[in-house]
Amino acid sequence: MCWNQENYAEHGYGLWIVETHDGEFIGDCGLTWQQVNGVQKLEVGYHVRSDLHGQGFATEAATACHDYAREHIEATELIAIIHPDNRASERVAEKNRNAPRR
């Protein structure tokens, strides 16, 4: 929690809670700066409750983060750090990379 608060204090953004319209917790998503091979990179991150996987929530969250980064931060590059065995998360990142922008 402190880490996320520090992100907001320093950058003005971090992780956001993802909920349904009825207020049910789905997971989180957001933009965070990560060290990758000694270089700061802006990451689009997303986590969805395992019982809700496969319903498009991660894709929707990642797309919203991507759009926010482009429109409000003017980010020219975004990354997603994904465990090599997490094929579902790779698909979300691929869809996000190839999706038409609003």
Q: What is the pTM (predicted TM-score) of this model?
A: 0.85
Judge whether 69 and 44 are in contact, CB under 8 Å: yes
pLDDT in tens, the chain (102 residues): 788 899 899 999 999 999 999 999 999 999 999 999 999 999 999 999 999 999 999 999 999 999 999 999 989 899 999 999 999 999 999 988 876 655
Instruction: Report CA torsion sign: 16, 29, 12, 95.
Output: negative
Q: What is the pLDDT of residue 100?
A: 62
Q: What is the pLDDT of residue 97?
A: 80
Write phi, then psi, for 100 (nearest 5 degrees): -65, 145
